[in-house]
Amino acid sequence: MFSIFKKKVLGNFSFLKTDLHNHILPGLDDGAKTISDSIELLQAMQQLGYQKIICTPHILGNIYPNTAATILPAFEAVKAVLVENGITLQIEVAAEYMADENFVEAVERKQPLLHFGEKKIILIEMSYLAPSPYLEQCVFQLILDGYQPILAHPERYNYYHKQPEKYELWKEKGCWLQLNALSLTGYYGRHVKQAAEKLLAAQFIDLLGTDLHHAQHLAALQYLCTTPYYKMLSLYPHFKNATI
């Protein structure tokens, strides 16, 4: 499936150790469809130098109405076949929560949330069309309840590109920011790439994630290793990936 790995990989992401944002669990969202897909994605991630993978399927309203009851069995099914497929990666499970009405209700009712790490880290996102009116409330309550919220791919929210102060606002409120590595390849377009560059230059980014869904993303990650951005990322002093 992943013919890109027939060639020598020119670089890897071993300096990060952990990928905390991906969609490799099978049949849950717009990522891997089967366990075979999941295994091939994990094998490729291992070749790219990762040591730990935090699986984060979408939890998104009626589109991806996942819960622990749907996520955990998929996670266990993948975990059960790692050794026989030569995968030595450590894998854990959490989720990527859309900051919508359902999520704010779950937070306010103090329902159990899928998180990872000693800091109870939780990954949240917004719509690409408009900012969430619930995000500030969610971040505040999550921190109050002892969680560490991460805002996924802030560079992809086009409505923030002319409001850079918003990024600083979320940092001040205690939210970590996670950049998609693919953004620097131009995968999501020129404006997203420019926003990513500015966020890194301002040292606002706390974590680098893959947001891995499929083989095209893997090809883009390998391409990134051939660009000047790779050295910049490997020397960036603020990534917390290796500590989670």
Using CA atoms, how far apart are residues 139 and 149, in angstroms rounded to an integer? 6
Contact 140, 170 (CB under 8 A): no
Give the tokens for residue 170.
């979320």
Backbone angle region of 105, left / alpha / beta, with phi > 0 → left and psi within -120 to 50 → alpha: alpha
Q: What is the CATH number of the domain that holds 151?
A: 3.20.20.140
**What DSSP letter does each residue of 52-71 carry, written as one string?**
EEEE--EEBTTTB---HHHH
Hey, how many other C-beta atoms are within 10 angstroms of the C-beta on 172?
Answer: 8
Contact 94, 116 (CB under 8 A): yes
Using CA atoms, how far apart are residues 46 and 43, in angstroms rounded to an integer? 5
Contact 165, 171 (CB under 8 A): no
Using CA atoms, how far apart are residues 178 and 155, in angstroms rounded to an integer? 9
Question: Of how many residues is the chain composed?
Answer: 244
Give the pLDDT confidence score for residue 11 in this predicted structure. Answer: 78
Which among 29, 39, 44, 26 has a CA at the least distance from the CA of 220?
A: 44
List CB contacts of 88: < 8 A, sequence separation 6 or more: 46, 82
List CB contacts of 161: < 8 A, sequence separation 6 or more: 191, 194, 195
Give the pLDDT confidence score for residue 1 in this predicted structure. Answer: 41
Give the pLDDT confidence score for residue 4 in this predicted structure. Answer: 42
Which among 6, 87, 82 has a CA at the least distance from the CA of 51?
A: 87
Contact 178, 150 (CB under 8 A): yes
Average pLDDT for residues 15-31, to the nearest whole number?
A: 98
Token pair 């500590």 is at which residue? Answer: 243
pLDDT band (50, 70, 90) for residue 46: very high
pLDDT band (50, 70, 90) for residue 10: low
pLDDT tens figures, 106-122: 999 999 999 999 999 99
Give the pLDDT confidence score for residue 186 in this predicted structure. Answer: 97
Token pair 């992943």 is at which residue? Answer: 2
Using CA atoms, how far apart are residues 95 and 83, in angstroms rounded to an integer? 24
Domain count along the chain? 1
Owning domain of residue 205: 3-243
Contact 24, 218 (CB under 8 A): no
Using CA atoms, how far apart are residues 4 and 145, in angstroms rounded to an integer? 44
pLDDT tens figures, 186-204: 999 999 999 999 999 999 9
